[in-house]
């Protein structure tokens, strides 16, 4: 069974039950972010799935999971009772620890936006904030015209009308399936930490293509802030 299928089955079963949380005691005195997780079936389900994804990631490289998990806890706490923000932090940490396959396919940017995303010429600025924009270009990360299909094997980039950009070192079929003009909902789910002044590379966005129905979480740069 693939990780995606296992996560999706677990999520479906958990949402069907009452809200709860897997990582903290809802019967105590939870903080505002914990309280909203305890009372929301989707957030509760994601909170229960997270330890499974974390366990697998720690088997591969435990040291690499510590900072992302600390940042997740800090970001979620800063969200307070903002559901869109809290949901964004779960999508970000699941993607960071387990890749896009760890984000259930039925979780989309539209769920984060909750009907509030509007067309905008600018990028979302806060975690949980969303905007509607359009794809302007999809291309290999490197290479020259004319583009060949195998060029995408070295990575994929996508550009948006709001000046947004996302890039991956992998071949990203969801991006390749997108076309200029496609309407997308884009949500900011993570911001870079411990950055030098003037370097804010590494903002991560969760995007859903309205035409294809596909979603992806991806950063705006090949390297996070402070990198080359």
Residue 73: which H helix or E strand, with range? helix 63-79
203 and 151 both lie in a single domain: yes
- Higher-confidence residue of 140 and 221: namely 140
Residue at 228 is within a domain: no
Picking from 102, 120, 148, the residue at the C-terminal end of a domain is: 102
Q: How far apart are CA 64 and CA 53, in angstroms?
A: 13
Minimum mean pLDDT range among 16-20, 169-173, 185-189:
16-20
Does residue 167 contact residue 156 with C-beta atoms inside 8 Å? yes
- Rounded to the nearest 10°, the torsion over CA 93, 100, 4, 98 is -50
What is the tens place of the pLDDT at every residue in 88-113? 999 999 999 999 889 998 999 999 99
Torsions phi, psi for 105 (to 5 deg): -65, -25
Integer-rounded Cα Rg, in Å, for the chain is 17
115 and 214 both lie in a single domain: yes
93 and 125 both lie in a single domain: no
88 and 58 both lie in a single domain: yes
Confidence tier at 227 by pLDDT (50, 70, 90): low
Number of structural domains in the chain = 2
114 and 94 both lie in a single domain: no
Query: How many other CB atoms are there within 10 angstroms of residue 228's CB atom?
Result: 4
What is the tens place of the pLDDT at every residue in 12-70? 444 444 556 667 788 887 899 999 999 999 999 999 999 999 999 999 888 889 999 99
Minimum mean pLDDT range among 19-28, 186-195, 197-206:
19-28
Structure tokens belonging to residue 167: 């890039």
Q: What is the pTM of this model?
A: 0.88
Q: What's the pLDDT at 27?
A: 85
Picking from 54, 74, 102, the residue at the C-terminal end of a domain is: 102
Which of 197, 192, 205, 100 lies closest to 162 in space, CA to CA? 205
- The range of the structural domain enclosing residue 210 comes to 109-219
Q: Calculate mean pLDDT across residues 151-178.
A: 96
Q: Calculate mean pLDDT across residues 136-148.
A: 89
Q: What's the pLDDT at 142?
A: 86
Picking from 102, 137, 154, the residue at the C-terminal end of a domain is: 102
Q: Is the peptide bond before 146 cis (omega within 30 degrees of 0)?
A: yes
124 and 190 both lie in a single domain: yes
Residue at 225 is within a domain: no
211 and 184 both lie in a single domain: yes
Q: What is the overall mean pLDDT for the chain?
A: 89
């Amino acid at each position: 069974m693939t990780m995606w299928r296992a996560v999706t089955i677990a999520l479906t079963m958990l949402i069907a039950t009452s809200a709860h949380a897997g990582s903290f005691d809802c019967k105590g005195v939870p903080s505002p972010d914990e309280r909203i997780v305890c009372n929301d079936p989707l957030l509760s389900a994601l909170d229960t799935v997270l330890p499974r994804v974390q366990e697998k990631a720690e088997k591969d490289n435990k040291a690499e999971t510590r900072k992302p998990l600390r940042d997740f806890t800090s970001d979620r706490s800063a969200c307070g009772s903002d559901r869109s923000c809290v949901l964004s932090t779960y999508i970000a940490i699941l993607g960071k620890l387990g890749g896009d396959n760890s984000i259930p396919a039925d979780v989309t940017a539209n769920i984060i936006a909750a009907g509030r995303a509007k067309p905008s010429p600018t990028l979302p600025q806060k975690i949980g904030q969303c905007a509607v924009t359009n794809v302007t270009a999809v291309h290999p990360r490197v290479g020259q015209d004319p583009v060949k299909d195998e060029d995408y094997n070295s990575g994929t980039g996508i550009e948006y009308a709001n000046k947004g950009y996302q890039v991956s070192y992998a071949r990203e079929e969801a991006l390749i399936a997108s076309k200029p003009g496609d309407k997308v909902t884009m949500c900011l789910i993570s911001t870079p930490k411990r950055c030098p002044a003037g370097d804010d590379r590494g903002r991560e966005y969760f995007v859903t293509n309205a035409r294809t129905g596909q979603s992806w979480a991806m950063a705006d740069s090949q390297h996070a802030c402070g990198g080359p």
